[in-house]
Structure 1
Amino acid sequence: MHTSSKVMPWARGLAAALALSGSALSGFAQQAQPPATADGGYTAATRQWVDDALAQSSATNAMPLRMEVTVGALDSRLRLASCGKVEPYLPTGGKLWGKSRIGLRCVDGVTRWNVFLPITVKAYGPAWILRGPVAAGAVLTQDDAMQGEIDWAEDFSPIVANADQWVGAVAARALMPGQAMRFHMVKQPQVFQAGAQVRVVAEGNGFQVASDGQAMQAGVIGQPARVRMENGRVMSGVVLDARTIKLEM
């Protein structure tokens, strides 16, 4: 196994989150070609290709992550024919995140072949770590977690990096000590019940209109909700706070 580690910036957002797709590498595969040598040559060149691809994907940044790439070996039973040009690529649906694989295909040889190298991409960065158990449905407070460093790529659910994204939220399920806070673990609290009287606001180019309405479903901040206006018309908007819905214009 071969490992490389470096600090590099991570792209904005959570998807970022979080993973480089095959479409993002469509032009990159033409630039890096492992030499047609023994397995060690393919492995080393593939590791460099992955490092370069990760660096290229991180041109803009918000959060510095320490990337660690481990490249496995080809199956020792393989007997690959000589090839003048070997092209690395990310298989369809593959990601440079967590456990994955890189394809190697011969595009200039008497025998065309296609093989795969296993890789593991770890992305170490800051996270909020739970101090103790939290019951499902409990409201999270600042004291429930402390800052630490974990492998963001250990799970595909994005890390909740900012405290204001989880403090005051509700545990979506029972949480255990040592877990890193991730988005699938928390949800925003319900702020009003179906049937509650709410303020409905609509904004446009240079104007704002407000009126009263009745919520037709429970409201969660940031989530859509339907509201019945005073004239009986049903409209959809986004919950802003405990008594306000902003209409979608």
Structure 2
Amino acid sequence: MIRRLLLSCLSAVLLTHSVYADSLQSLAGIEQTAYVFAMNDAQAYYDNPQITVDAMDKRLRLQACDGKLSAFSSSSADTTGNRTIGIRCSTPTEWTVYVSVKVKVLRPVVVAARALSANQVLKASDVKTVMQDISDLRQGFILSPDNVVGQQLRYSLAMGTALTPRSLKQQKIVQRGEQVILVAQAGSMEVRMNGMAMEDAILGDKIKVKNSSSNRVVEGVVQAPGVVQVTM
């Protein structure tokens, strides 16, 4: 009699637990919803993104959602690295949870092939491309070696360090005191004169130059090494 009573109580407990478990929202379903949302966002901007979803706390108990789970995020859709995705249920009980994901995008980026010194003018052999997760490159990155060859480094770089636009500076192609050619357009006619640069400049800079014949100081735009376009 006692044994039969104990078995009856145990069956009731297990049945209650089973019904309660069935009424809980699947955490795997929440994680999958966050994954799909983050993947769809990333694929709109990047090829072959990789999404990693942080596992939720298994102790979390949420009532099962009758409708479809909805996902949202306050961060930009093209965000790489860490994102937080909100998952919301409206019925029968309203609840919202947040899932952490990481968006990785691998790209061939330009890195230093060896230790490089500050002010060094880069050659093709100084750099190489390697696959890196661009979400880790917060200062930016460069995809093609063609964009760095001939450029000058602002500061030294260790081997394997990704080059960034900020790490480069354009070389000065006109030096103060240098003899330059002044080029002036007058309709279809082009006039060339000798002059002297009065300041350093890079391509496209506006600088002051002195006409060697008249000693008149004029302003012009650096068009090429040793060539300054002036207005007549």
* TM-score by shorter chain over 0.5: yes
TM-score, normalised to structure 1, is 0.61
Structure 1's 114 and 211: CA in aligned 2 closer, same or farther, altered over 3 A? farther
Letter in 1 for 2:32: A
Q: 2: distance between equivalents of 1:50 and 1:208?
A: 60
Q: Could you list the runs of 5+ residues in structure 2 that have no partner in the other structure?
A: 1-23
Query: For the Cα contact (< 8 Å) 2:25–2:62, is it kept in 1?
Result: no
Is residue 152–residue 171 contact of structure 2 (8 Å, CA) maintained in 1? Answer: yes
Match of 1:45 in 2: 33
Displacement of 1:53 after TM fit?
2.0
Higher relative contact order (CA closer than 8 Å, sequence separation 6+): 1
2:205 corresponding residue in structure 1 = 225
C-alpha displacement of 1:130: 1.9
Shift of 1:245: 5.7
Mapped to 2, the partners of 1:209 and 1:114 lie a distance apart of 71
1:160-239 matched pairs, under 5 angstroms: 160-194=142-176, 197=180, 199=182, 218-221=200-203, 225-228=205-208, 239=222
Matched residue SS, 1:57: coil
Task: Answer whether contact 1:198 1:215 (CA < 8 A) is retained.
Answer: no
CA distance in 2, matches of 1:246, 1:114: 64
Shift of 1:136: 0.9
What TM-score, normalized by structure 2, do the two folds share? Answer: 0.65
Distance 2:91 2:228 in 1: 64
Q: 1:87 aligns with which of 60, 70, 73?
A: 70
CA-CA distance at 1:175 after TM superposition: 0.3
Which of the residues 121, 134, 138 maps onto 1:152? 134
Hey, what's the Cα distance between the residues in 2 that align with 1:209 and 1:246? 10
Inter-CA distance 107–131: structure 2 relative to 1 (3 Å threshold)? same
Alpha carbons 1:216, 1:226 under 8 Å: kept: no
Query: Identity over the aligned pairs, expressed in percent?
Result: 21
Equivalences for 1:94-113 in 2 at 5 Å?
Answer: 95-98=78-81, 100-106=82-88, 108-109=90-91, 113=95
- Cα 1:112–1:214 change in 2 (3 A) is farther
Aligned alpha-carbon RMSD (Å): 3.8
| Distance 1:186-1:115 versus aligned 2 partners, 3 A rule | farther
SS, match of residue 49 in structure 2: strand
Greater share of strand: 1
User: How many pairs align?
Assistant: 198
Question: Highest Rg: 1 or 2?
Answer: 2
| Letter of the 2:207 counterpart | V
* Letter aligned with residue 46 of structure 1: A
